[in-house]
Structure 1
């Protein structure tokens, strides 16, 4: 097992690599389908950037590709990839074999008939999933929760509430991430007297935030980490795992748990209903839950593993886990409510906040 020092990137190396672009699955639809007929090829849909890179390091390269599986990667944002799976429901065969999504994204795809019901007899490692994490259409790989993150060189007293982002003293220094916009709706709904089943009060509070501090909106985690390291951004909200990862990388970023409670999230994998290579897709799901892969992805990302046999080092577990009191305060997504409203939330965000 590598040590904590081995896991931590240097500040210089981290900032050099954060801006790296992603590779999108290329070629015509016809040639892609023809190539994927081969039983040894698997098409993986995922976010790009360091997320896909870490999935490659923890699972895809050392376990699957090393054994001869040819992996093609279709990398894009979640809304783009969801639209693709929904469009392929009517096709005899789709273009994706496994896809990475959040728990809420997976629910939305499932109720619209885009996902394969899972046969857990083909995923024996799922026997070690933590209580409450077995799902009929989605296999979680890791989990965390949204909390506050800040630059301790710029903000000496740790923030304690999502309300701290509205502080006029931070005007021009507040950052938001387009990639996780829905978490801000939840966070500010909680702050404004709403709930996980009623984000409407949060919309007005986010408009107050925009007026008070003119937040900078970044496309991804990598970009906001660079902005916080340079001093362009002092404070934001992000996953606890990201704060732990960046702290370990010796970036000037720390996490702080909000008094309103964090927003829980799971990341995992689904099999599209029209997947061409379901045999390899099940192998992917099973291998990702093996102790070595679960331990590796947590070591790389600082997200907590979804299985009980990852055997993480105590110091790492301390960094990525919530205390008992914090776990009791975590707020969980109402999947049905989110699925019903997500399209209009995204439209509102793009029109009112992102611009």
Structure 2
């Protein structure tokens, strides 16, 4: 279900001009800015460190349209034929954003319309989106309940953990990638993935509806092991859950989340302002400190101590998979159908 959160203006239009966020002097601009995003902890983080800290003082009135990634991606793609869409900025995982870019739903981004564009780390730079956070979907586990770190993805199917394996419904793509690799597939061929998903069902794996639900299940001991971003493992550790995370020997699925401006946005200026705000070093530092996601910009700075906790060694970086985004785009509907049919049928 989609919901809206509205906050009043905190500054005048002159403040927006001072920040360079109005594109056409003398022309009245709508200051409402609709952002399609996740809710929960992440939505709160955006509200505090992007909306209230950067955009509202510049005169923008940010409205969060909260939904799951599948309906948000679907809306972004299906609305592209309409004269005006319902979002001015949309946040999605990289593979979802890739699908929207492929059908021409997104504005092209560059240093002319996003001031901080050239600060993006080169390996994360794209033409139709900006990276707001990145980490990796690793194996996260309760250290007090699983005392030997799981070195292989095979541990995700260990019969000793029957009834204690947790799977985020949101992360079905990453979960199926793990399942494919475990069963002889590749990132361009998910053959074997359904077999692994069926094995999870046989092991009474718990299907959880949100990231927050995964954290709650780990906290209660309802689950012991899961696939979730290493960043989440860090942030939940801070809340007092005794968690470890590993990049297994077979590798791990990158966790890159991006933002884009629909071509038919009602407020393109606002969307571009949002892109720039997400890349602000202060916002990037907050993403790192509060949620454990690594900065996506060259001028982002975190302490060596934090880097040691949330970063990846060179060996771990070398093991991160390179997803075939075209394959995922072409097969995502069938993957979701297989996922739902096996675990929910």
TM-score in same-fold range (> 0.5): yes
1:34 aligned partner: none
User: TM-score w.r.t. structure 2 length?
Assistant: 0.90
Unaligned runs of 5+ in 1: 1-21, 28-36
Contact 1:43 1:96 survives alignment (8 Å): yes
Give deviations 1:296-325, integer Å, cap 9, x for gaps. Answer: 222121111111111101111111111000
Displacement of 1:256? 2.0
1:214 aligned partner: 204
Mapping 1:11-160, distance limit 5 Å: 24-25=3-4, 39-160=30-151
2:282 aligned partner: 292
Contact 2:184 2:191 survives alignment (8 Å): no
Contact 1:262 1:329 survives alignment (8 Å): yes
Mapping 1:272-291, distance limit 5 Å: 272-291=262-281
Distance in structure 2 (CA, Å) of the matches to 1:100 and 1:257: 25
Displacement of 1:66? 2.6
Distance in structure 1 (CA, Å) of the matches to 2:201 and 2:189: 20
Contact 1:148 1:161 survives alignment (8 Å): no
Displacement of 1:208? 2.1
Distance in structure 2 (CA, Å) of the matches to 1:116 and 1:241: 29
Distance in structure 1 (CA, Å) of the matches to 2:5 and 2:158: 45
Displacement of 1:238? 1.0
Give deviations 1:257-306, integer Å, cap 9, x for gaps. Answer: 21111111211201011101111111111122121111122212111111
1:225 aligned partner: 215
Alignment counterpart, residue 247 of structure 1, candidates 222, 231, 237: 237
Give deviations 1:27-73, integer Å, cap 9, x for gaps. Answer: 9xxxxxxxxx9621100100111111111122111111133211111
Which has a greater percent of helix? 1
Mapping 1:257-268, distance limit 5 Å: 257-268=247-258
User: TM-score w.r.t. structure 1 length?
Assistant: 0.87
Unaligned runs of 5+ in 2: 7-27
Q: Which aligned segments of 4 or more residues in structure 1 are displaced greater than 4 angstroms?
A: none
Contact 2:5 2:63 survives alignment (8 Å): no
Distance in structure 1 (CA, Å) of the matches to 2:38 and 2:5: 16
Contact 1:265 1:332 survives alignment (8 Å): no
Give deviations 1:204-246, integer Å, cap 9, x for gaps. Answer: 12212322x1100001111111111111111111111111111
Displacement of 1:26? 8.4
Contact 1:110 1:137 survives alignment (8 Å): yes
Distance in structure 1 (CA, Å) of the matches to 2:46 and 2:124: 20
Contact 2:132 2:296 survives alignment (8 Å): yes
Secondary structure at the counterpart of residue 121 of structure 1:
coil
Secondary structure at the counterpart of residue 147 of structure 1:
strand
Give deviations 1:73-119, integer Å, cap 9, x for gaps. Answer: 11100111112122211211111100101111111011122211224
